[in-house]
């Protein structure tokens, strides 16, 4: 069951990511990104991270993507025009180099993490419930948490200052 769910949602995530970077229209890209984030939430659940899965759906797939879609619609962004001229080097090497990047990263992971050393079973997850997260967040990680609130305040001010009308 674990294997089936993992294969299904990992496949959906990777497929949606490919669709996202191949689409020319930003709205299609945004919707594909929502697909990636939704399937990542299921993968978090399989790893036992229930709180993070919920936060992923609410914060990423909910709030951030709505913000993206608002801006896309506000600016009336259309599809990218086809490039008029493209260097021969970019066309010839782009795809192989992309595959090479994935292959190198996968190779390094295989080398550094011994295969089959840890297997993931949903029932074996030791931590990740909202209680665990809350306890760690308000004891061990209290200072970063408070600094984060200042960061969000600065971000709000920055967004307001940047988006207001010039006087």
Partner 1 sequence: MPPAPPAVPLTAYLIVSAILFSLGAIGFVIRKNVITMFMCIELMLNAINLSFVAFSYKHGTVDGHLFTFFVMVVAAAEAAVGLAIILTVYKNRNTLMADDIDSLKL
Q: Which of residues 56-85 bind partner 1 (CB under 8 A)?
A: 56, 59-60, 63-64, 67-68, 71-72, 74-75, 77, 80, 83
Shortest Å, Cβ 70 to partner 1? 8
End-to-end CA gap in the chain: 60
Shortest Å, Cβ 120 to partner 1? 5
- Residue 63 or 92 having the CB closest to partner 1: 63
Residue in 8, 92, 93, 101 binding partner 1, rule: CB under 8 A = 101
Residues in 112-141 at the binding interface with partner 1, rule: CB under 8 A: 113, 115-121, 125-128, 132-133, 136-137, 141
Quote the CA–CA distance of 27 and 33 in Å, as a whole number. Answer: 10
Quote the CA–CA distance of 72 and 141 in Å, as a whole number. Answer: 36
What tokens does 133 get? 């997260």
Quote the CA–CA distance of 37 and 85 in Å, as a whole number. Answer: 34
Report whether 21 contacts 52 (CB < 8 A): no
Shortest Å, Cβ 6 to partner 1? 5
Residue in 87, 93, 144, 146 binding partner 1, rule: CB under 8 A = 144
What tokens does 167 get? 């006087």
Quote the CA–CA distance of 135 and 139 in Å, as a whole number. Answer: 6
Residue in 87, 92, 98, 142 binding partner 1, rule: CB under 8 A = 98
């Amino acid at each position: 069951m674990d294997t089936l769910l993992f294969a299904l949602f990992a496949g959906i995530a990777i497929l949606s990511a490919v669709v996202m970077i191949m689409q020319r229209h930003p709205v299609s890209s945004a919707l594909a990104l929502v697909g990636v984030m939704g399937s990542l939430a299921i993968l978090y659940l399989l790893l036992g991270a229930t709180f993070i899965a919920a936060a992923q759906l609410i914060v990423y797939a909910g709030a951030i993507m709505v913000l993206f879609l608002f801006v896309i619609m506000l600016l009336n962004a259309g599809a990218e025009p086809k490039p008029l001229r493209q260097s021969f080097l970019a066309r010839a090497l782009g795809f192989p180099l992309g595959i090479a990047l994935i292959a190198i990263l996968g190779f390094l992971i295989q080398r550094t993490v011994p295969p089959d050393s840890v297997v993931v079973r949903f029932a074996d997850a030791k931590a990740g419930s909202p209680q665990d997260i809350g306890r760690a967040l308000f004891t061990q990680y209290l200072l970063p948490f408070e600094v984060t609130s200042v960061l969000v305040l600065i971000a709000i001010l920055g967004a307001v200052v940047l988006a207001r009308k010039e006087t």
